[in-house]
Amino acid sequence: MIEHALTFGYVAVSIAVLLNLWRLLRGPSLMDRVLAVDTMVINVIALIILFGIQQRTTVFFEAALLFAMFGFISTVAYCRFILRGDVIE
Partner 1 sequence: MSLALIVILPFLGAMLPALMIRAGRNACALATGTATLLAFALLLVHAPAVVLRGEVVQAGWQWLPGLGLNVNFFLDGLGFLFATLILGIGLLIIIYARFYLAKEDPMGSFYSYLLLFQGAMVGIVLSDNILLLLVFWELTSLSSFLLIGYWKHLPEGRQGARMALTVTGAGGLAMIAGMLLLGHIAGSYDLSVILQHGEAIRESELYLPALVLILAGCFTKSAQFPFHFWLPHAMAAPTPVSAYLHSATMVKAGLFLMARMWPVLAGTEAWFYLVATAGLLTMVIGAFIALFKDDLKGLLAYSTVSHLGLVTMLFGFGTPMAAVAGVFHIINHATFKAALFMNAGIVDHEAGTRDIRRLGGLVFLMPISATLATLAAASMAGLPLLNGFLSKEMMLHEAAHTAWAGQGWLVPLLATVGALFSVAYSFRYILHVYFGRRRDDYPHPPHDPPAGMWLPPALLVVLVVLIGLFPETMAGTLVRATAAAVIGGPVPDFHLSIWHGFTPALGMSAVAVAVGLLLILSYPRVRALWQAGPHPEAKAMFDATLGGALALAQRFTHGLHNGSLQRYLAFAVAAMVLAGFVAFSGAPHEAGTRALLPMQPVAVVAWVLLLGGCMLTVVFFRKRLLSVLVVGTVGLIVCVAFIYLSAPDLALTQISVEVTTVILILLALYFLPKESPVSSTVRAQPLRHLRDALLALAAGGGMAAVSWAMMTRDGVSLSDYYLENSVSGGGGTNVVNVILVDFRGFDTFGEIIVLGIAALAIFALLDGALHGRVGRRLSAWTPDLPVSVDRHPIIMVVATRVMLPLALLVGAYIFLRGHNQPGGGFIAALVVSIALIMQYMASGFAWAAQRVRVKYHAMIGGGVLVAVATGVGAMVLDRPFLTSAFTHVHLPVVGEFELASAMAFDAGVFLTVVGAVMLALANLSRMGRWTAHRPVNKMAMDVDPSAAPYREHH
SS (H, E, C) 50-84: HHHHHHCCCCCHHHHHHHHHHHHHHHHHHHHHHHH
Q: Return the amino acid letter for 9.
A: G
Residue 54 neighbours by CB under 8 Å, 6+ apart: 6
CA nearest neighbour of 16 among 38, 48, 39, 34: 39
Q: Binding to partner 1 by residue 5, rule CB under 8 A? A: no
Q: Binding to partner 1 by residue 12, rule CB under 8 A? A: no
* Nearest-approach distance from CB 37 to partner 1, in angstroms: 6
Residues 16-45 that bind partner 1 (CB under 8 A): 17-18, 21, 24-25, 30, 33-34, 37, 40-41, 44
Applying CB under 8 A, which residues contact partner 1?
A: 10, 14, 17-18, 21, 24-25, 30, 33-34, 37, 40-41, 44, 47-48, 51, 59-60, 62-63, 65-67, 69-70, 73-74, 76-78, 80-89
